[in-house]
Amino acid sequence: MASISKSKPERRAKPAPLKETFSLVSNEKLLAIYAAMVKCRMVQQRAALLFQQGKLASDLHASSGREATAAAIAIDLQPGDSLSLSAGDWLPASVKGMAIESVFRALAPASVQLNGAAAMEQKNILSAGDKAQRPASIRERALAAQAAKQDSLVAAILPSDEQSLKPWHDILAAAASQRLPIVFVHYADAGEQAAMAKPARKSRNPHASFHGVPAISVDALDAVAVYRVAFEAIVRARQGRGATLLECATFAGIPNPGSEKEPEPSFDPLRLPDPLATMEAYLRSKGIEPAQHNQHIVAAFNVELDLATRFLDL
């Protein structure tokens, strides 16, 4: 039997926190992100059904697989913040607060579209519009936000392919030199991901930049990972420290920010994980059962979708 020392009490190390209870994101925020993702998926599914029925002129195929990023990027935007959309992708607008009916009217035939410009302006949402003028419009919004000194910002979702980024080089350089409050979001679509694998890997270096703007690569299918980097980018912009570029790619090998492991990126367009299922698995790891929340979200939002699309039956 070991002897017990009476001269000095034994100093015990504090127990390490349980891994499953640690998170930089509160459970309340996780559930808000999850609810937004479920609603985005439901909007996309309803749009696909109505398009197949010939009631819509277009669907939301451009939004496919983007529920995680749409929710994570737009959920913390304030009414005074501006959101610039990419062509055909309306999911971030719905998360920011654009009326669901307005989203479906934007997809509807011209005869029932109505003028949605006023509704979008009220929510500070900019459509893809004129590709040549869009970078200038975003710069003007950012300069106005900077001059107002009200901690507002611009979230700008850029075109997906490398070629269409050329008109954005000037605004990226201006955002860097003028410390403009802009969060740039660039998606890497399936066709270009193999070509972008090496640049995406390099951009995970915290000192990497694109035209002077700090660039962070993140798994577009991981809502928690996207939210963490988006949160930091938004804080940076609000504090007047300048712009950030978020490269949202669907490489299975990209680790979460802060991970020491850095495997080679790989991509299989036929075997991508479902971002909603990924989020549900994460919630379960936190002791949250998504099914308990999902049932209520789906029931309530189905009613909202029915009301938002009834103009198509008139």
- The residue among 68, 140, 119, 132 whose CA lies nearest residue 308 is 119
One pLDDT digit (tens) per residue for the chain, 314 residues = 433 334 444 444 443 333 443 457 999 999 999 999 999 999 999 999 999 999 999 999 888 889 999 999 999 999 999 999 998 899 999 999 999 999 999 999 988 777 666 778 889 999 887 677 889 999 999 999 999 988 999 999 998 766 667 778 899 999 999 999 999 999 875 444 444 433 333 344 444 678 889 999 999 999 999 999 999 999 999 999 999 999 998 754 444 444 444 433 333 445 678 999 999 999 999 999 999 899 899 999 999 999 999 999 87
How many other C-beta atoms lie within 10 A of the C-beta of residue 121? Answer: 10
Contact predicate 107/57, CB 8 Å: yes
Token output for 74: 């737009």
- The residue among 140, 245, 232 whose CA lies nearest residue 186 is 245
**Separation CA 74–CA 64 (nearest Å):** 17
Token output for 291: 């099914």
Q: Quick one: DSSP state of residue 76?
A: T
The domains located in the chain, with CATH, are 24-313 (3.40.50.970)
**Separation CA 305–CA 100 (nearest Å):** 7
Helix (H, G, I), strand (E, B), or coil: what is residue 194? helix
Buried residues in 48-70 as b, exposed as e (16+ CB within 10 A): eebbeeebbeebbebbebbbbbb
Residues 6+ apart with CB under 8 A from 30: 23, 224, 282, 283, 286, 288
Instruction: State whether the Cα torsion 232-182-157-162 is positive or negative.
Output: negative
Instruction: State whether the Cα torsion 101-104-106-112 is positive or negative.
Output: negative
